Structure 1
Amino acid sequence: MTAQTITDAGTDTAGTIQEFFTRFGAGDLPALLDLFTDEVDWNVPGSAVVPWTGRRTTKEELTAFFVSAGEEVAATERFEVDRIVADGDTGVALGRFIHVIRRTGKKFSSEFALHIAVSGGRIRLYHMFEDGAAAAEAFTA
């Protein structure tokens, strides 16, 4: 997939989703946060033992999520986005990853589906679906 800048992506949903992955992969937190609206409908369902699960609505909460994820994941052995499909302001990204969890040394492997809605080139809805049971197992010593 070809990365686009947010200017090139404009209000293009697929371009905004691709830009999210580009900025996330680069670890550029300020630029990443700039892709989100001031209030966001964010949800990563899962077990309470997994620190990045739950609902968030503010950029401060998103910052805490990204910092926590960076601290909790010792290494990413694999991260692939297989497909981004967009229809109007709504898009879905499908892929897979393998993370090594720092506190346990266990691997967390999962396919994922990411549901995103975009408004004015910014992400207003972010719902991530991953294997919650595998995540909980990876965080349990």
Structure 2
Amino acid sequence: MKMKHMDSQTTKTKEVVEAYWNNASSKNYQANASLFADEVEWRIPGNKEKAPWIRDRNTKAEAVSFFQELFVHVEAVSFDITGKFYDGNHAVVTGHLVSRMLSTGKLFDSPFTIQITVANGLITKYLLLEDSLGLVQALTA
């Protein structure tokens, strides 16, 4: 079987997503601002009353502020990426995370999938799927 080479859109998507993870892993979240389009569809489904940082975000500034809001409530214990898949302007990242909820001290332990869309070299969509019930349970005293 012959391996398919990445087309230019897939290559660009991979470059943007890899830059995003490199910045995030070094806690250089402000550097990610240049990777988002001015208008972005950022979604993390779940209970926004219990976990206000998962609110919908629609602008570059709102997307970048996610990490500031997240770490007011959460201590990262581990964040492991187990797979990265690229096809055209789409990327899917899979993994496993463990976080301590600062309000309860409980651990939130969940697999995750992140779907990212890149257009014109910028992130336009970001969808994080995680165990939302487990998150609510970790936030409940």
Distance 2:87 2:64 in 1: 28
Query: How many pairs align?
Result: 132
> What SS does the corresponding residue of 1:135 show, helix, strand or coil?
helix
Distance 2:11 2:41 in 1: 18
Tell me, which stretches of 5 or more residues in structure 1 are unaligned? 1-9
> What SS does the corresponding residue of 1:104 show, helix, strand or coil?
coil
Distance 2:33 2:101 in 1: 24
Task: Extract structure 1 runs of 4+ deviating beyond 2 A.
Answer: none
Q: Aligned residue for 1:78?
A: 78
TM-score of the superposition, structure 1-length normalised? 0.85
Distance 1:18 1:110 in 2: 22
Residue 83 of structure 2 contacts residue 94 of structure 2 at CA under 8 Å; is this kept in 1? yes
2:21 is equivalent to residue 21 of structure 1:
yes
Q: For residue 99 of structure 2, what is the amino acid of its counterpart?
A: H
Residue 139 of structure 1 deviates from its aligned partner by 1.3
Q: For residue 70 of structure 2, what is the amino acid of its counterpart?
A: A
Distance 1:136 1:88 in 2: 35
Distance 2:80 2:89 in 1: 23
Residue 14 of structure 1 contacts residue 84 of structure 1 at CA under 8 Å; is this kept in 2? no
Distance 1:121 1:113 in 2: 21
Amino-acid identity (%): 31
Please tell me whether Structure 1 or Structure 2 has the larger radius of gyration of its CA atoms.
Answer: 2
Distance 1:18 1:64 in 2: 20
Tell me, which stretches of 5 or more residues in structure 2 are unaligned? 1-9
Distance 1:129 1:94 in 2: 10
Residue 32 of structure 2 contacts residue 64 of structure 2 at CA under 8 Å; is this kept in 1? no
Q: Aligned residue for 1:31?
A: 31
User: 1:50-99, CA deviations, whole angstroms, 9 ceiling, x for partnerless residues?
Assistant: 1222311012322432211121112x222111111011001100001101
CA RMSD after TM alignment: 1.8
Distance 1:12 1:63 in 2: 21
Q: For residue 136 of structure 1, what is the amino acid of its counterpart?
A: V
Q: For residue 54 of structure 1, what is the amino acid of its counterpart?
A: R
> What SS does the corresponding residue of 2:104 show, helix, strand or coil?
coil
Q: Aligned residue for 1:7?
A: none
Distance 2:133 2:127 in 1: 17
Residues 73 and 28 of structure 1: CA distance in aligned 2, closer, same or farther (over 3 Å)? same
